[in-house]
Protein backbone atom coordinates (compact mmCIF):
# COMPACT_ATOMS: atom_id res chain seq x y z
CA UNK A 1 0.00 0.00 0.00
CA UNK A 2 2.69 2.47 -1.01
CA UNK A 3 1.55 5.96 -1.99
CA UNK A 4 0.29 6.34 -5.55
CA UNK A 5 3.18 6.32 -8.05
CA UNK A 6 5.92 5.32 -5.55
CA UNK A 7 8.31 2.41 -6.27
CA UNK A 8 11.31 0.96 -4.48
CA UNK A 9 12.40 -1.20 -1.55
CA UNK A 10 11.06 -0.98 2.03
CA UNK A 11 14.12 -0.30 4.23
CA UNK A 12 12.31 -0.27 7.59
CA UNK A 13 8.76 -0.49 8.92
CA UNK A 14 7.53 0.49 12.41
CA UNK A 15 5.19 -1.13 14.91
CA UNK A 16 2.84 0.59 17.35
CA UNK A 17 0.25 3.36 17.38
CA UNK A 18 0.63 6.20 14.90
CA UNK A 19 -1.47 9.00 13.47
CA UNK A 20 -2.08 8.93 9.72
CA UNK A 21 0.45 11.74 9.20
CA UNK A 22 3.38 10.19 11.16
CA UNK A 23 6.00 8.16 9.21
CA UNK A 24 5.52 4.39 9.63
CA UNK A 25 8.11 3.16 7.09
CA UNK A 26 11.11 4.23 5.02
CA UNK A 27 11.30 3.58 1.29
CA UNK A 28 14.47 3.45 -0.78
CA UNK A 29 13.56 4.64 -4.28
CA UNK A 30 15.17 3.44 -7.51
CA UNK A 31 17.40 6.53 -7.46
CA UNK A 32 18.67 5.65 -3.95
CA UNK A 33 16.73 8.37 -2.11
CA UNK A 34 15.24 7.47 1.31
CA UNK A 35 11.59 8.62 1.59
CA UNK A 36 9.25 8.55 4.61
CA UNK A 37 5.97 6.66 4.12
CA UNK A 38 2.85 7.79 6.01
CA UNK A 39 -0.60 6.14 6.15
CA UNK A 40 -2.38 9.11 4.55
CA UNK A 41 -2.49 8.85 0.75
CA UNK A 42 -3.37 11.48 -1.80
CA UNK A 43 -4.65 10.22 -5.18
CA UNK A 44 -5.81 11.87 -8.38
CA UNK A 45 -9.44 10.67 -8.35
CA UNK A 46 -9.92 10.85 -12.12
CA UNK A 47 -7.03 8.47 -12.75
CA UNK A 48 -7.34 4.74 -11.99
CA UNK A 49 -4.97 3.18 -9.46
CA UNK A 50 -2.45 0.71 -10.94
CA UNK A 51 -2.64 -3.09 -10.59
CA UNK A 52 -0.53 -6.07 -11.66
CA UNK A 53 -3.07 -7.84 -13.90
CA UNK A 54 -6.79 -7.70 -14.73
CA UNK A 55 -8.51 -11.10 -14.68
CA UNK A 56 -11.75 -12.39 -16.14
CA UNK A 57 -14.43 -12.44 -13.38
CA UNK A 58 -15.90 -15.88 -12.61
CA UNK A 59 -17.49 -15.76 -9.11
CA UNK A 60 -20.98 -14.36 -8.38
CA UNK A 61 -21.58 -11.41 -6.10
CA UNK A 62 -24.32 -12.97 -3.94
CA UNK A 63 -26.92 -10.30 -3.16
CA UNK A 64 -29.65 -12.32 -1.40
CA UNK A 65 -32.18 -10.93 -3.93
CA UNK A 66 -33.71 -13.92 -5.73
CA UNK A 67 -34.51 -12.26 -9.06
CA UNK A 68 -30.89 -11.06 -9.30
CA UNK A 69 -29.02 -14.12 -7.98
CA UNK A 70 -31.10 -16.63 -9.94
CA UNK A 71 -31.99 -14.97 -13.23
CA UNK A 72 -29.58 -12.06 -13.75
CA UNK A 73 -26.45 -12.57 -11.60
CA UNK A 74 -23.47 -10.24 -11.46
CA UNK A 75 -19.86 -11.30 -10.85
CA UNK A 76 -17.41 -9.91 -8.33
CA UNK A 77 -15.63 -7.39 -10.51
CA UNK A 78 -18.62 -6.98 -12.85
CA UNK A 79 -20.59 -3.92 -13.94
CA UNK A 80 -24.38 -3.48 -13.86
CA UNK A 81 -26.96 -0.79 -14.57
CA UNK A 82 -30.35 -0.34 -12.88
CA UNK A 83 -32.41 1.94 -15.12
CA UNK A 84 -36.02 2.71 -14.34
CA UNK A 85 -38.63 5.47 -14.17
CA UNK A 86 -39.47 7.46 -11.04
CA UNK A 87 -41.04 5.31 -8.30
CA UNK A 88 -39.94 1.94 -9.72
CA UNK A 89 -37.63 1.21 -6.78
CA UNK A 90 -34.07 1.94 -8.00
CA UNK A 91 -32.94 3.31 -4.65
CA UNK A 92 -34.48 0.42 -2.67
CA UNK A 93 -32.73 -2.09 -4.98
CA UNK A 94 -29.42 -0.28 -4.40
CA UNK A 95 -30.05 -0.16 -0.64
CA UNK A 96 -30.76 -3.92 -0.65
CA UNK A 97 -27.52 -4.58 -2.55
CA UNK A 98 -25.59 -2.34 -0.16
CA UNK A 99 -27.11 -4.18 2.82
CA UNK A 100 -26.78 -7.80 1.77
CA UNK A 101 -24.26 -8.20 -1.10
CA UNK A 102 -21.33 -10.38 0.03
CA UNK A 103 -18.72 -7.70 -0.64
CA UNK A 104 -16.38 -6.90 2.24
CA UNK A 105 -16.57 -3.13 1.66
CA UNK A 106 -19.52 -1.12 0.32
CA UNK A 107 -19.08 2.37 -1.13
CA UNK A 108 -22.45 4.11 -1.53
CA UNK A 109 -22.42 7.33 -3.58
CA UNK A 110 -25.57 9.44 -3.24
CA UNK A 111 -25.07 11.61 -6.30
CA UNK A 112 -27.69 14.32 -6.75
CA UNK A 113 -30.44 12.34 -5.00
CA UNK A 114 -32.78 13.49 -2.22
CA UNK A 115 -31.23 14.08 1.20
CA UNK A 116 -33.82 11.92 2.99
CA UNK A 117 -32.52 8.84 1.11
CA UNK A 118 -29.05 9.31 2.58
CA UNK A 119 -30.66 9.91 5.99
CA UNK A 120 -32.44 6.53 5.66
CA UNK A 121 -29.08 4.83 5.07
CA UNK A 122 -27.51 6.60 8.05
CA UNK A 123 -30.43 5.57 10.29
CA UNK A 124 -30.86 1.97 9.08
CA UNK A 125 -27.36 0.62 8.52
CA UNK A 126 -26.06 0.93 12.13
CA UNK A 127 -29.05 -1.16 13.31
CA UNK A 128 -28.73 -3.91 10.68
CA UNK A 129 -26.38 -6.85 11.24
CA UNK A 130 -24.09 -8.12 8.49
CA UNK A 131 -24.91 -11.87 8.10
CA UNK A 132 -21.27 -12.63 7.21
CA UNK A 133 -19.53 -10.96 10.19
CA UNK A 134 -22.23 -10.36 12.83
CA UNK A 135 -21.13 -6.70 13.01
CA UNK A 136 -23.33 -3.65 12.21
CA UNK A 137 -23.48 -3.05 8.45
CA UNK A 138 -22.27 0.51 8.94
CA UNK A 139 -18.81 -0.81 9.86
CA UNK A 140 -18.17 -1.96 6.28
CA UNK A 141 -19.95 0.94 4.54
CA UNK A 142 -18.55 4.22 3.21
CA UNK A 143 -21.11 6.88 2.34
CA UNK A 144 -20.42 9.76 -0.02
CA UNK A 145 -23.31 12.18 0.43
CA UNK A 146 -23.73 14.58 -2.46
CA UNK A 147 -27.38 15.54 -2.45
CA UNK A 148 -29.27 17.57 -5.04
CA UNK A 149 -28.80 20.89 -3.19
CA UNK A 150 -24.98 20.68 -3.29
CA UNK A 151 -22.75 22.35 -5.93
CA UNK A 152 -22.60 20.71 -9.39
CA UNK A 153 -18.78 20.56 -9.33
CA UNK A 154 -18.94 18.43 -6.16
CA UNK A 155 -21.57 16.19 -7.77
CA UNK A 156 -19.37 15.66 -10.82
CA UNK A 157 -16.40 14.74 -8.58
CA UNK A 158 -18.36 12.44 -6.22
CA UNK A 159 -18.49 9.46 -8.61
CA UNK A 160 -14.71 9.59 -9.14
CA UNK A 161 -14.11 9.94 -5.40
CA UNK A 162 -16.22 6.83 -4.76
CA UNK A 163 -14.45 4.64 -7.34
CA UNK A 164 -11.01 5.78 -6.09
CA UNK A 165 -11.91 4.83 -2.50
CA UNK A 166 -13.13 1.47 -3.86
CA UNK A 167 -9.82 0.93 -5.68
CA UNK A 168 -7.90 1.79 -2.49
CA UNK A 169 -9.60 -1.06 -0.61
CA UNK A 170 -9.33 -3.34 -3.66
CA UNK A 171 -5.55 -2.86 -3.51
CA UNK A 172 -5.64 -4.29 0.04
CA UNK A 173 -7.19 -7.49 -1.37
CA UNK A 174 -10.85 -6.79 -0.52
CA UNK A 175 -13.92 -7.40 -2.66
CA UNK A 176 -15.57 -3.98 -2.93
CA UNK A 177 -18.98 -3.00 -4.35
CA UNK A 178 -19.73 0.60 -5.33
CA UNK A 179 -23.33 1.80 -5.70
CA UNK A 180 -23.70 4.99 -7.74
CA UNK A 181 -27.15 6.52 -7.23
CA UNK A 182 -27.52 7.92 -9.79
CA UNK A 183 -25.27 8.31 -12.83
CA UNK A 184 -28.03 10.34 -14.56
CA UNK A 185 -27.63 13.12 -11.96
CA UNK A 186 -23.86 12.95 -12.46
CA UNK A 187 -24.37 13.29 -16.24
CA UNK A 188 -26.64 16.30 -15.63
CA UNK A 189 -23.87 17.92 -13.56
CA UNK A 190 -21.47 17.18 -16.42
CA UNK A 191 -23.90 18.86 -18.85
CA UNK A 192 -24.26 21.91 -16.63
CA UNK A 193 -20.50 22.33 -16.26
CA UNK A 194 -19.99 21.78 -19.98
CA UNK A 195 -22.54 24.53 -20.70
CA UNK A 196 -20.79 26.96 -18.38
CA UNK A 197 -17.49 26.19 -20.11
CA UNK A 198 -19.23 26.96 -23.46
CA UNK A 199 -18.30 23.59 -24.94
CA UNK A 200 -20.06 22.33 -28.07
CA UNK A 201 -23.18 20.40 -26.90
CA UNK A 202 -23.97 16.89 -28.13
CA UNK A 203 -27.24 14.97 -28.05
CA UNK A 204 -29.87 16.54 -25.71
CA UNK A 205 -27.29 19.09 -24.56
CA UNK A 206 -24.95 16.51 -22.98
CA UNK A 207 -21.26 17.00 -23.81
CA UNK A 208 -19.90 14.99 -26.75
CA UNK A 209 -17.57 13.11 -24.37
CA UNK A 210 -20.42 11.71 -22.19
CA UNK A 211 -19.97 8.11 -23.46
CA UNK A 212 -16.21 8.11 -22.94
CA UNK A 213 -16.57 9.51 -19.37
CA UNK A 214 -19.12 6.81 -18.49
CA UNK A 215 -16.85 4.14 -20.01
CA UNK A 216 -13.88 5.45 -18.00
CA UNK A 217 -15.90 5.09 -14.79
CA UNK A 218 -17.16 1.54 -15.45
CA UNK A 219 -13.78 0.39 -16.83
CA UNK A 220 -12.26 0.96 -13.37
CA UNK A 221 -14.32 -1.96 -12.04
CA UNK A 222 -12.89 -5.47 -12.35
CA UNK A 223 -11.15 -8.41 -10.69
CA UNK A 224 -7.40 -7.75 -10.45
CA UNK A 225 -4.15 -9.17 -9.12
CA UNK A 226 -2.93 -6.39 -6.84
CA UNK A 227 0.54 -4.90 -6.81
CA UNK A 228 3.00 -5.88 -4.08
CA UNK A 229 1.50 -9.15 -2.82
CA UNK A 230 2.00 -12.29 -4.90
CA UNK A 231 -1.28 -14.03 -5.71
CA UNK A 232 -3.48 -11.56 -3.79
CA UNK A 233 -6.66 -10.57 -5.63
CA UNK A 234 -9.15 -7.77 -5.11
CA UNK A 235 -12.26 -6.68 -6.98
CA UNK A 236 -14.44 -3.64 -7.57
CA UNK A 237 -18.04 -4.28 -8.64
CA UNK A 238 -19.78 -1.18 -10.03
CA UNK A 239 -23.59 -0.89 -9.96
CA UNK A 240 -25.02 2.33 -11.35
CA UNK A 241 -28.62 3.50 -11.13
CA UNK A 242 -29.89 5.38 -14.18
CA UNK A 243 -32.90 7.71 -13.92
CA UNK A 244 -34.11 8.33 -17.49
CA UNK A 245 -36.72 11.13 -17.75
CA UNK A 246 -40.15 9.50 -18.05
CA UNK A 247 -38.54 6.04 -18.10
CA UNK A 248 -37.36 6.58 -21.70
CA UNK A 249 -34.41 4.21 -22.19
CA UNK A 250 -33.60 5.73 -25.59
CA UNK A 251 -32.14 8.88 -23.97
CA UNK A 252 -28.32 9.35 -24.17
CA UNK A 253 -27.26 8.38 -20.62
CA UNK A 254 -29.20 5.08 -20.69
CA UNK A 255 -27.97 4.18 -24.18
CA UNK A 256 -24.33 5.03 -23.38
CA UNK A 257 -24.55 2.96 -20.18
CA UNK A 258 -26.13 -0.07 -21.89
CA UNK A 259 -23.28 -0.14 -24.43
CA UNK A 260 -20.79 -0.56 -21.56
CA UNK A 261 -22.37 -2.74 -18.83
CA UNK A 262 -22.85 -6.51 -19.00
CA UNK A 263 -25.81 -6.75 -16.60
CA UNK A 264 -29.06 -4.87 -17.18
CA UNK A 265 -31.71 -4.92 -14.44
CA UNK A 266 -34.56 -3.09 -16.18
CA UNK A 267 -37.12 -1.78 -13.71
CA UNK A 268 -40.72 -1.75 -14.87
CA UNK A 269 -43.28 0.91 -13.91
CA UNK A 270 -46.08 -1.63 -14.58
CA UNK A 271 -44.62 -4.10 -12.04
CA UNK A 272 -44.08 -1.32 -9.50
CA UNK A 273 -47.70 -0.22 -10.01
CA UNK A 274 -48.81 -3.80 -9.20
CA UNK A 275 -46.67 -3.61 -6.03
CA UNK A 276 -44.31 -6.32 -7.33
CA UNK A 277 -40.88 -5.52 -5.88
CA UNK A 278 -38.07 -5.75 -6.84
CA UNK A 279 -39.74 -4.47 -10.03
CA UNK A 280 -37.07 -6.03 -12.29
CA UNK A 281 -38.66 -7.00 -15.62
CA UNK A 282 -37.57 -10.61 -16.30
CA UNK A 283 -38.44 -10.30 -20.02
CA UNK A 284 -36.27 -7.21 -20.62
CA UNK A 285 -33.33 -7.73 -18.26
CA UNK A 286 -30.22 -9.76 -19.02
CA UNK A 287 -26.84 -10.85 -17.64
CA UNK A 288 -23.89 -11.65 -19.89
CA UNK A 289 -21.96 -13.23 -17.00
CA UNK A 290 -24.12 -16.39 -16.67
CA UNK A 291 -21.94 -18.63 -18.88
CA UNK A 292 -18.74 -17.49 -17.15
CA UNK A 293 -20.10 -18.52 -13.76
CA UNK A 294 -21.45 -21.92 -14.83
CA UNK A 295 -18.43 -23.83 -13.49
CA UNK A 296 -18.63 -22.00 -10.13
CA UNK A 297 -22.33 -22.89 -9.76
CA UNK A 298 -21.71 -26.54 -10.73
CA UNK A 299 -18.93 -26.80 -8.15
CA UNK A 300 -20.65 -24.96 -5.27
CA UNK A 301 -24.37 -25.62 -5.78
CA UNK A 302 -24.50 -28.70 -8.02
CA UNK A 303 -25.58 -29.09 -11.63
CA UNK A 304 -29.24 -28.56 -10.68
CA UNK A 305 -28.82 -24.78 -10.42
CA UNK A 306 -28.14 -23.93 -14.08
CA UNK A 307 -30.78 -26.38 -15.34
CA UNK A 308 -33.40 -24.96 -12.93
CA UNK A 309 -32.53 -21.37 -13.86
CA UNK A 310 -33.02 -22.13 -17.58
CA UNK A 311 -36.29 -23.91 -16.93
CA UNK A 312 -37.71 -21.05 -14.82
CA UNK A 313 -36.83 -18.55 -17.57
CA UNK A 314 -38.46 -20.80 -20.19
CA UNK A 315 -41.67 -21.04 -18.10
CA UNK A 316 -41.82 -17.24 -17.66
CA UNK A 317 -41.31 -16.70 -21.40
CA UNK A 318 -43.97 -19.30 -22.23
CA UNK A 319 -46.37 -17.52 -19.85
CA UNK A 320 -45.75 -14.26 -21.70
CA UNK A 321 -46.75 -15.83 -25.04
CA UNK A 322 -49.81 -17.57 -23.51
CA UNK A 323 -50.90 -14.36 -21.78
CA UNK A 324 -52.05 -12.89 -25.08
CA UNK A 325 -54.41 -15.84 -25.67
CA UNK A 326 -55.75 -15.66 -22.09
CA UNK A 327 -56.59 -11.97 -22.46
CA UNK A 328 -58.46 -12.62 -25.72
CA UNK A 329 -60.43 -15.79 -24.94
CA UNK A 330 -59.92 -16.49 -21.22
CA UNK A 331 -58.05 -19.10 -19.17
CA UNK A 332 -60.61 -21.85 -19.87
CA UNK A 333 -59.62 -21.91 -23.56
CA UNK A 334 -56.16 -23.25 -22.67
CA UNK A 335 -55.28 -26.94 -22.53
CA UNK A 336 -54.41 -28.63 -19.23
CA UNK A 337 -50.64 -28.47 -19.78
CA UNK A 338 -50.76 -24.75 -20.64
CA UNK A 339 -52.93 -24.02 -17.59
CA UNK A 340 -50.40 -25.82 -15.38
CA UNK A 341 -47.59 -23.75 -16.97
CA UNK A 342 -49.54 -20.55 -16.22
CA UNK A 343 -50.05 -21.60 -12.59
CA UNK A 344 -46.36 -22.48 -12.12
CA UNK A 345 -45.34 -19.17 -13.73
CA UNK A 346 -47.66 -17.38 -11.28
CA UNK A 347 -45.94 -19.21 -8.39
CA UNK A 348 -42.52 -18.16 -9.72
CA UNK A 349 -43.62 -14.53 -10.07
CA UNK A 350 -45.57 -14.08 -6.85
CA UNK A 351 -43.81 -16.47 -4.47
CA UNK A 352 -40.23 -16.58 -5.76
CA UNK A 353 -39.37 -13.36 -7.63
CA UNK A 354 -41.49 -11.10 -5.40
CA UNK A 355 -39.44 -10.26 -2.28
CA UNK A 356 -40.29 -8.02 0.66
CA UNK A 357 -37.31 -5.77 1.48
CA UNK A 358 -38.85 -4.89 4.86
CA UNK A 359 -39.62 -8.44 6.05
CA UNK A 360 -37.17 -9.75 8.64
CA UNK A 361 -36.66 -13.14 6.89
CA UNK A 362 -37.69 -12.50 3.28
CA UNK A 363 -35.32 -9.53 2.85
CA UNK A 364 -32.39 -11.93 2.26
CA UNK A 365 -32.21 -15.45 0.80
CA UNK A 366 -28.94 -17.39 0.53
CA UNK A 367 -28.13 -19.35 -2.64
CA UNK A 368 -28.84 -22.59 -0.80
CA UNK A 369 -32.34 -21.43 0.19
CA UNK A 370 -32.97 -20.18 -3.36
CA UNK A 371 -31.97 -23.60 -4.74
CA UNK A 372 -34.35 -25.42 -2.34
CA UNK A 373 -37.22 -23.08 -3.30
CA UNK A 374 -36.55 -23.67 -7.01
CA UNK A 375 -36.45 -27.44 -6.46
CA UNK A 376 -39.89 -27.35 -4.76
CA UNK A 377 -41.44 -25.40 -7.66
CA UNK A 378 -39.77 -27.69 -10.22
CA UNK A 379 -40.93 -30.85 -8.38
CA UNK A 380 -44.52 -29.54 -8.35
CA UNK A 381 -44.32 -28.85 -12.11
CA UNK A 382 -42.89 -32.31 -12.94
CA UNK A 383 -45.40 -34.15 -10.72
CA UNK A 384 -48.19 -32.00 -12.15
CA UNK A 385 -47.27 -32.93 -15.73
CA UNK A 386 -47.10 -36.58 -14.72
CA UNK A 387 -50.55 -36.35 -13.07
CA UNK A 388 -52.04 -34.81 -16.23
CA UNK A 389 -50.65 -37.72 -18.26
CA UNK A 390 -52.52 -40.01 -15.81
CA UNK A 391 -55.76 -38.12 -16.71
CA UNK A 392 -56.01 -36.25 -13.39
CA UNK A 393 -58.20 -33.14 -13.65
CA UNK A 394 -56.20 -29.89 -13.80
CA UNK A 395 -58.45 -28.30 -11.14
CA UNK A 396 -57.45 -31.02 -8.65
CA UNK A 397 -53.76 -30.35 -9.34
CA UNK A 398 -54.14 -26.58 -8.91
CA UNK A 399 -56.12 -26.89 -5.66
CA UNK A 400 -53.65 -29.15 -3.80
CA UNK A 401 -53.25 -27.85 -0.19
CA UNK A 402 -49.44 -28.12 -0.36
CA UNK A 403 -49.29 -25.25 -2.88
CA UNK A 404 -49.80 -22.74 -0.09
CA UNK A 405 -46.78 -24.16 1.76
CA UNK A 406 -44.66 -23.88 -1.42
CA UNK A 407 -45.75 -20.24 -1.69
CA UNK A 408 -44.82 -19.52 1.94
CA UNK A 409 -41.44 -21.29 1.75
CA UNK A 410 -39.75 -17.89 1.36
CA UNK A 411 -40.63 -17.15 5.01
CA UNK A 412 -38.73 -20.21 6.29
CA UNK A 413 -35.88 -19.12 8.56
CA UNK A 414 -32.79 -20.70 6.98
CA UNK A 415 -30.81 -20.48 10.23
CA UNK A 416 -33.16 -22.82 12.11
CA UNK A 417 -35.80 -24.41 9.86
CA UNK A 418 -34.18 -25.63 6.61
CA UNK A 419 -35.57 -29.12 7.40
CA UNK A 420 -39.04 -27.77 6.51
CA UNK A 421 -38.12 -27.92 2.81
CA UNK A 422 -37.78 -31.72 3.06
CA UNK A 423 -41.12 -31.89 4.90
CA UNK A 424 -42.88 -29.86 2.17
CA UNK A 425 -41.30 -32.01 -0.56
CA UNK A 426 -42.44 -35.22 1.16
CA UNK A 427 -45.97 -33.79 1.57
CA UNK A 428 -45.98 -32.73 -2.10
CA UNK A 429 -45.10 -36.24 -3.29
CA UNK A 430 -47.70 -37.82 -0.97
CA UNK A 431 -50.53 -35.53 -2.18
CA UNK A 432 -49.75 -36.30 -5.82
CA UNK A 433 -49.51 -40.01 -5.03
CA UNK A 434 -52.97 -39.87 -3.40
CA UNK A 435 -54.32 -37.89 -6.38
CA UNK A 436 -53.15 -40.42 -8.96
CA UNK A 437 -54.23 -43.29 -6.70
Hey, how many other C-beta atoms are within 10 angstroms of the C-beta on 222? 24
Residue 92 confidence (pLDDT) above 80: yes
**pLDDT tens by residue, 395-420:** 999 999 999 999 999 999 998 899 99
Q: Quote the CA–CA distance of 410 and 200 in Å, as a whole number.
A: 54
* pLDDT tier, 7 (very low <50, low <70, confident <90, very high otherwise): confident
Helices marked H in 330-366: 336-347
* pLDDT tier, 1 (very low <50, low <70, confident <90, very high otherwise): low
> pLDDT value at position 133?
83
Strand partners, 34: 28
Q: Quote the CA–CA distance of 229 and 211 in Å, as a whole number.
A: 34
Contact 119, 156 (CB under 8 A): no
Cα distance between the two ends of the chain: 70
* pLDDT tier, 424 (very low <50, low <70, confident <90, very high otherwise): very high
Q: Quote the CA–CA distance of 130 and 137 in Å, as a whole number.
A: 5
The CB-based long-range contact list for 281-287 (8 Å cut-off, 24+ gap) reads 282/67, 282/71, 282/313, 282/316, 282/353, 283/316, 283/317, 283/320, 285/71, 285/72, 286/72, 287/71, 287/72, 287/73, 287/74, 287/262, 287/263
**pLDDT tens by residue, 193-221:** 999 999 999 999 999 999 999 999 999 99
Contact 336, 345 (CB under 8 A): no
Residue 33 confidence (pLDDT) above 80: yes
**pLDDT tens by residue, 210-261:** 999 999 999 999 999 998 778 899 999 999 999 998 888 899 999 999 999 9
Contact 268, 84 (CB under 8 A): yes
Q: pTM of whole model > 0.75? A: yes
Give the helix, strand, coil percentages of the chain, each rounded to 5: 45, 15, 35
Residue 5 confidence (pLDDT) above 80: no
> pLDDT value at position 81?
96
Contact 38, 20 (CB under 8 A): yes
Residue 71 confidence (pLDDT) above 90: yes
Cα 8 to chain centroid, rounded? 39
Residue 334 confidence (pLDDT) above 90: no
**pLDDT tens by residue, 356-382:** 998 999 999 999 999 999 999 999 999
Amino acid sequence: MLPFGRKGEIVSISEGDYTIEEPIAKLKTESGEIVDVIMLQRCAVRKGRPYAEKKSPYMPLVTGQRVIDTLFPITKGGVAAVPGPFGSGKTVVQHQLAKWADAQIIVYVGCGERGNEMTDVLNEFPELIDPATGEPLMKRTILIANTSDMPVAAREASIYTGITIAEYFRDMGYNVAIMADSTSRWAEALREMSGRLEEMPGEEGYPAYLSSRLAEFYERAGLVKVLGSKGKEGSVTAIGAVSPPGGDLSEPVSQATLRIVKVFWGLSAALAYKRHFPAIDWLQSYSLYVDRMEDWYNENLGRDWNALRKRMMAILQEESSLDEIVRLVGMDALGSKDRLTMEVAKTIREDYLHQNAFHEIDTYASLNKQLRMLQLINTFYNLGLNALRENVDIEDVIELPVREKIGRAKYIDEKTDMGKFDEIEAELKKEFSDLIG
